[in-house]
Each structure stands twice: as C-alpha cells, then as structure tokens.
A and B are shown apart, each in its own frame.
Chain A
Amino acid sequence: MSATETVPVAEGIDTLDALEAEAIHIIREVVAEFERPVLLFSGGKDSVLVLHLAAKAFWPAKVPFPVLHVDTGHNFPEVIEFRDRTVERLGLRLEVASVQDYLDDGRLSERADGTRNPLQTQPLLDGIAAGRHDAVFGGARRDEDKARAKERILSLRDEFGQWDPRNQRPELWDLYNGRHTVGQHVRAFPISNWTELDVWRYIEREGIELPPLYYAHEREVYLRDGMWRAISDVSPARADETVERRIVRYRTVGDMSCTGAVESDAASVGDVVREIALSTLTERGATRADDRISEAAMEDRKKDGYF
C-alpha cells in the first residue's frame, strides 16, 4: 500500500507541529466519546482549519461528522460559494440554520442597527437541538478576545446553551471530561491555543485553500467607524459616506453588515503571513463592529449561547 509521499524523520517538534498534534488529539477524543458531533462551518479561515485538521485526523476515512452553518442571510456570496464547494468536495452533509427563516416567520426581528450577528444564537441552539448534537466543534481561539481567553477546550453548555464563566469545570492535563446530562451539550475548541499568525503559517505550510476575500482585491468600500465596509444590499453607504474603490482584504469573515476590511496589498498567503507578523491591531479590533458595542460584548453573547 502506498500513500502520497514519504518524509524523513523530523528533528524535534516545532510550534505548529505541537498545535496540530493537540488539535487532532482533541478532535479524535470528541469523536470517540460523543454520539453526534457536528462542526460549525462558516467558510471562515478558522473553521476551514478545523475541517482540515479533522480530515487529517481520520484519513483515509472521510470526516465522520456533518457540518452546520448558521446563515445570517448577510453572507459574502463568495464565502457561500466556497462553503458549498468544500462540503461537496469532502462529501459531507451540510446542515443550515437560517436566520432569515426566523425573521420571515417572526420568531426573530431585525435589530435597529441592522447587524444580524447577535441574532445567530437562537437558530444555532435550535439547529443543535434539531440535529440532536451532543458535541459542537468550533474554530474559536483564545487569542481572539478576552472572554474567549477564559474558555475551556471542552466547554459545557446547559439546556439553554448558556456558558457560565464563573463556574467552569476544571480541565486537567489533556484528559478531557465530556460527561454531560440529557439536554446539555459540549462545545469543543480544537484550535483554542492557536494565534492568528499560527493559523496563517499553517495555512501556508499545508497549502489550505480559503475564500478569495482573505487576499488583496479591489472592492467598492466606504469608511465607517474607522473600518472599510463593503458596498452591498445589506450594507449600503449613508449619504454622508463616500464610496471609493480600494485594494482591501478581510482578516475575519462574518456577517457583511458588521465585518470590515483592511487596506492591504497582501495577495498571497506568504504576503499575509508577513503582514500579520507586523500588524499593530488585533484581528477583531481591526474588523469587527459587533465587538465594539461594549467592553464585554463577546462575554455577554457567549453567556447566551453564542459560539
């Protein structure tokens, strides 16, 4: 039997190797100990990375769980295209929890500020319940935010999907305790310990494909709250905002109504690695309007069951 290539024995183990080994270990533990895991997959770089690690963890078998996308209806079209192509290529089942459906039938209503990010929680929790998922993989990283910095790798959620940061279970060594009772579920974060730079270095090393908007491209944008916003049906410019064409890229990919682009000429993954290494802003600070609302915006959303 022959596999794709044979590499010589590696000398020692570098940071990326250590992070990869830890992530694969976590993914396999969850698959071994839970009945119905699912991966939250948005097409963003972190969820693409977790999917890549899952593929490695089970190769030559296919990834043994479906993926779930919470669709705000405000997605970048090229990300949805990438999502569908990836799921198709890997032969996975895609479950979609649609915020638009909830708005259409009145279970949710549009917020005054137009952002749909906080509206994702209810469809997410319903999607988890509908799929009877007892474990939900996410691509959250501790370096993204000060509330996320406090999260366990295996994080227990109650019947209401709530996170209780004052009362987390101890998590000892790499012995993950996934015991839970009926109605509870567990969120699992295999790339908790990766930084943005680790993610990009690994994407470069492994040649992982991402949606094109992570790389420099020309786009019609306008400046709001110090961030470049894309022109679209859901994110129109106000009369006092000037629309111009700029060379930009995205550092995070979320809801179009609250994700900003950064000016950048980083067109290749190597360029991005160099750019991130020199960046003076965090990724969420540079690109997420939703986290600017308050000091503890992420913590509050997480307590309510957000990812």
Chain B
Amino acid sequence: MGALLRFATAGSVDDGKSTLVGRLLHDSKAILADQLESVTRTSAERGFGGEPGAIDFALLTDGLRAEREQGITIDVAYRYFSTGRRSFILADCPGHVQYTRNMVTGATTADAVVVLVDARNGVLEQTRRHLAVVALLRVPHVIIAVNKIDLLDYSQSAYDTVASDVAALARELGLADTHVIPVSALAGDNIVDRSANTPWFDGPSLLELLETLPSLDELETEFEALRMPVQLVIRPQGSLAHDVADAEAFRDYRAFAGRIASGTVRVGDRVQVFPGGATTTVTGIDAGSTTVEAASAPRSVSLRLADQLDAARGAVIVAEGALPTPRRELDASVFWLGATPLRPGARVLVKSGTSTVQALVTDIVGRRDLDTLALEPAGALEINDIGQVRVRLAAELPVEEYSTHRRAGAFLVIDPQSGYTLAAGIVTEAPPASPEAVAEAEAAAAWVAV
C-alpha cells in the first residue's frame, strides 16, 4: 500500500468543502451504518434538500453544535479513511475569514490541499487568501475542485472560464503541482468515479488523483542530509524500565532522543552536533527496546554517540559537513494570526524545532497585497495578513530556509504573556532590496571608502 497521505480542504465559505468531504467518505464506503443513520436523521430534522432521504453530507464533519446551527465549519475536522491503495488523513477546514487561523492549522501538515471554487462565483477574495497560504506553506500538491457544476448544467465553457482563472492565479503564486477537476460535491460527479455528466473532461476523479500523489516524506526522503533536533536526553541512571534484563550494561546509558527531521542515520556514521559543531560517531540507534542499524525521517529514535558531548534539548544532530549556519537574524515570511496587529519592536518568542528563544521583530519589510500579490510597505500586520519581517533572536538558532528544508525552516511566533500562537513563520532568503535602499547602501559604502 502507498504511504499515508494527509490532505486538507480550502476555499471560500459555502463553496462546498464539507459536502465534498462527506461525499468522498460516503462514496468510498468509509461511513459506517450508525454514522449514516445519524446524519440522515439530522438532515431530515433540519429539512435538508426538501426531498425525503436527502443527506446533508456536510454533517459528517460539521460536528459541533454551533457548526450545525449556523451551517458553517468553524474548526478543522479530522477524518480517516483508506482505499485499497492507501490511507488518508483528511482535514476539513473552514472557509469563513474569521476562522482562517484554523485553515492554516489544517494546511501546515498537508501533503495536498483541495481548494474548492463555486463555479458560479469563480475566484473570491478568500479563495485568493487560501491559495496564498498554500503557496506560502509550499504545500506540494494543489487540486482545484471547480464545484457545483450541477447548477450550471455541467457546462464545459463555464468550467473552462473558472479553470483558466484559477490556473493563472496558481501560476502567479508560483504553485508547483496544480490539478483542476470539475466536480459536483452534492451529486458526486468526479469525486470517486469519473462522471458521465462531464464527457468533455478526460482527467482522473478526485480520489484517483489523491491515490497517486507522492507524500511529503516520500518526496523528501533520500534527498537531504541527516538532521535530528534533540527533544531530550535519556539517562536512566537508577530508574530502569522493567524489561531491562542486564541493569549493569545500562548503568552509563546516555542517548539523544528525537524525531529525525530529514535524511537517514546509520550506526558508524560521523555526525556533528549544534551548538559547537563537535564531530563524533553514532554508536547505536534505539527504537524502543529494539536496536536498529539505520533509521530515516520521520522516525522517532534515540541516538547513542561515541563521545560524551554536552548537548541537551535544543541541540541538533546533523550529518558531518551539514552543520547549519547559526543565525541571530532571520528574514521570514509570516502569516499573522494574532488579534492585535504586529508592529516593529514587538517582543515575542520564536519556537523552532525543539528551541524556544526570545526575539525582537525589528522590521516589517512589507505586507503582501492579496489583489496584486505584490509586497507593499506596511507599518503593521493585521490578522490574516501575510508579511515579510526581520527578526533578531536572543540566541543563535540552527535554522535553514524553509524552501530547502521545511522542518528546519518553520517556526511559531508566540506571545510571551498570553502564550497564544501569533503567527506561522517560515525562514526565507533576504528579500531583494528596493532600488532606493541599494542606492543608499552604495552611497554609504562610497562615503566610508573615502
């Protein structure tokens, strides 16, 4: 069976995300009898569709009282299903602008995002916002489902218009792997089976496509060097697990526990440890009470090293020669989730890997305009803004650019007072300097040279 695929839905409010998810689960036989009976009953009680027996498929994921009362999704619902070909974790996200933070939550862990567009309305502001999030997070696969084509008599020309609009937007945003499918979530066209109502469309159904997309871990394995942030150090001393037979042999046991973020580690490998950069050799890899010869991302393991190094939580073990450049200043893109705007000079916490450090937002370089997609000067970032910022850290962090290493380039911005998660951050290269800034710098340099 293929690797687990995590996918999320996105798109503007009411464009049919939850209905599509319910339809997908129903038609792939992932709904059990008692669940179906319960949503059929609730659909009838709420007079859905006007016909007896009509099922509001959105009720399969809109499980909160408030969601059912308002007929909208508020927070992400996670559902699980499998076909003969692979298993899926599905995150049904809300479309309403007020709950964009929850859509971001669902999208950060997705291998693929299915973006719904109501064929009658085309691309709306929230469609653009969600696609911009997907681009920011570099979700590997994007599927645009042009929905509700049943309401347009399955018209090819209506579909073509919307499809070419979205395709143009996807290109502008630099989205990598984009697919477009005409669907009716309500009627089930092109969801699991290819529909006879769209003879003019010769692509795969949504499920066929989802079954064949490579997951992030499949895309990323083998390419990258070993990197493992240390979560904690395991030193049992007197406190051994009950199934350790030979207590004497484990008296001085010391191992670095973590989840491999990238690459493969083998016994005998030479590795380096951040901070400090000391080089040593892997003498053992433990996965529970089993000793393994090698392990790859995204496994959780414990590494034993030849030398007694002074490393703790926050340390990072990497392949020899792959030590990241420690950074005190970050250029970053952020998606701002906080209710109060971000202004230059804000003191925050930055959590990256297993480190949390104090930080100062020194500059807001700009805010991405949703219409033009250009970076425009801004004095502050408001909720749901995507912006470019500079951050000074109180301690060095071993980050990488997100575009080359997701797990090493993603970070949280946290409010030190309330503890709230204020932003999703990704480490970028320095933004191209504006012509004025370049001229200024040159003038300054010339002045110094004189």
A residues in contact (CB < 8 Å) with B = 1-10, 12-15, 17-18, 20-22, 24-25, 28-29, 31-32, 55-64, 89-91, 142-143, 145-147, 149-150, 152, 165-166, 168-175, 177, 179-181, 192-193, 195, 279-282, 285-286, 295-296, 299-300
* CB within 8 Å for A165 and B64 given contacts A13-B217, A31-B232: yes
The answer to whether B240 and A7 have CB atoms under 8 Å apart is no
B249 interface residue, CB < 8 Å from A?
yes
Measured CB to CB, the nearest residue on chain A to B246 is: A2
* One of B105, B242, B293, B353 near A62 (C-beta < 8 A): B242
* CB within 8 Å for A169 and B241 given contacts A177-B351, A193-B80: no
A28 to B353, CA, bound (A): 13
* One of A1, A165, A172 near B74 (C-beta < 8 A): A165
The answer to whether B80 and A59 have CB atoms under 8 Å apart is no
Q: B120-128, B200-208, B409-417: which lies at the A interface?
A: B409-417
17 contacts between A and B (CB under 8 A): A1-B249, A2-B291, A3-B291, A10-B292, A13-B296, A18-B217, A21-B298, A29-B354, A32-B354, A62-B242, A172-B108, A173-B108, A173-B109, A175-B411, A295-B65, A296-B64, A296-B65
* CB within 8 Å for A21 and B351 given contacts A147-B64, A193-B80: no
The answer to whether A149 and B61 have CB atoms under 8 Å apart is yes
A29 to B337, CA, bound (A): 23
Most buried by B among A12, A20, A28, A166: A28
A295 contact set on B, CB distance < 8 A: 38, 42, 65, 68
B448 interface residue, CB < 8 Å from A?
no
A147 to B349, CA, bound (A): 31
* One of B79, B253, B406, B412 near A60 (C-beta < 8 A): B253
Known contacts A15-B1, A17-B299; 14 additional CB pairs below 8 A are A1-B284, A4-B289, A6-B293, A10-B292, A13-B298, A60-B289, A62-B239, A143-B80, A165-B74, A172-B104, A172-B108, A175-B410, A180-B419, A192-B78
* CB within 8 Å for A61 and B231 given contacts A1-B249, A169-B420, A296-B65: no
The answer to whether B286 and A59 have CB atoms under 8 Å apart is yes
Q: Is the interface of B mostly helix, strand, loop or mixed?
A: mixed
Q: B28-36, B146-154, B165-173, B392-400: which lies at the A interface?
A: B28-36
Tell me the residues in window 228-247 of chain B with beta carbons closer than 8 Å to chain A beta carbons: 231-232, 234-236, 239-244, 246
- The size class of the interface chain B forms with chain A is 35 or more
The answer to whether B32 and A281 have CB atoms under 8 Å apart is yes
A299 contact set on B, CB distance < 8 A: 63-65
A89 to B1, CA, bound (A): 37
B61 contact set on A, CB distance < 8 A: 146, 149
B105 contact set on A, CB distance < 8 A: 152, 170-172
The answer to whether B259 and A21 have CB atoms under 8 Å apart is yes
Tell me the residues in window 326-362 of chain B with beta carbons closer than 8 Å to chain A beta carbons: 337, 349, 351-354
* One of A9, A170, A300 near B102 (C-beta < 8 A): A170
B117 interface residue, CB < 8 Å from A?
no
A150 to B411, CA, bound (A): 23
